Structure 1
Amino acid sequence: MTTDLPSFSPGDALVAVMVATSASDETMRTSELVAIQRMVDHLPVFSDYDDSRIRAVSQTVMSLFEEEDGLDALFGLIRDALPERLYETAYAMACDVGAADGRLYAGEIALLAEIRHEFNISRLHAAAIELSAQVRHRTL
């Protein structure tokens, strides 16, 4: 599969980061899927995005998760498509998906650390993004 990978648009890359975050703990919760759809529907970065692409991007992510070096291939696709100025945006979206159900699971924590590393996000910026996601998803 990794030899015949599709190319991603910047919007696809952002969706892939969110789907990967949701799938990273082996359970894609409804709250996470709703968070992804809500962001695609409302964030300005997706204003020209064809949301019918979500399914194909999700299938690519899930297929890559089944491969031995699939995560590396996924990050390669994402880096090829995503402008560096959107790396922190992608991380913020990943944090929002992870926080959508009220807690972070081990797989999500590990993937977020990998995203920080792959996108070279400073620890200070990452902490600010993580805290903002946490406070946005608090409940009464």
Structure 2
Amino acid sequence: MPDHLSHHEALIYVMVMMSAVDKTMADDELERIGSLTRFLPIFRDFARERLIPTARDCAALLDGAEGLDIALEVVREALPARLNDTAYALAVEVAAADHAIRNEEIRFLQLLRDRLDLDKLTCAAIERSAIARFRK
């Protein structure tokens, strides 16, 4: 793991944590992470070859003692405040990829909201927009 994460890496960590929080990283979630890093403007200057190594670094951190708590703190330190809602939105996107939100994912969103000091109204708006986008 690098000493300091870029904002790109921190956002990828959030997506990987969301995918891994239920102990399985589903193919549709991994595909969603790849597509988000390809088309979102925030990743425009991200070196795409860093995606897999960054995801592996995050997974290794999560495997350690208190991995989730440490990873959340690393993300909080790396992200500028203006990207906190972006991180939350990316987590919601990954959670919605398989059209089923599990209890572990809800709990992770709560932890992320609290760690990034996001207000509940902002988070509710992000969640509601995902419901509208992913409705069948």
Regarding TM over 0.5, the answer is yes
Are 1:116 and 2:85 matched, yes or no? Answer: no
Of 4, 9, 12, the residue aligned with 2:9 is 12
In 2: Cα distance, 1:64 partner to 1:107 partner: 18
Are 1:134 and 2:128 matched, yes or no? Answer: no
Which stretch of the first structure deviates more once superposed, 30-39 or 59-68?
59-68
Q: How many residues align?
A: 135
Q: Which SS does the other structure have where 1:128 is aligned? A: helix
Give structure 2 stretches of 5+ with no counterpart.
Answer: none
Which stretch of the first structure deviates more once superposed, 125-134 or 62-71?
62-71
Residue identity opposite 1:108 in structure 2: E
**Corresponding residue number in structure 2 for 1:59:** 56
Residue identity opposite 1:128 in structure 2: A
Are 1:102 and 2:115 matched, yes or no? Answer: no
Are 1:40 and 2:31 matched, yes or no? Answer: no
In 2: Cα distance, 1:69 partner to 1:60 partner: 15
Q: Runs of at least 4 residues of structure 1 off by over 3 A?
A: none
Which stretch of the first structure deviates more once superposed, 46-55 or 56-65?
56-65
Residue identity opposite 2:16 in structure 1: V
TM-score (ref. length: structure 2):
0.93
Q: Which SS does the other structure have where 1:48 is aligned? A: coil
Deviation for aligned residue 1:114: 0.4
Residue identity opposite 1:31 in structure 2: D
Q: CA RMSD in A?
A: 1.1
TM-score (ref. length: structure 1):
0.91
In 1: Cα distance, 2:37 partner to 2:124 partner: 24
Deviation for aligned residue 1:68: 2.1
Q: Deviations over 1:104-126 (max 9, x none)?
A: 11221111110011011111111
Q: Which SS does the other structure have where 2:64 is aligned? A: coil
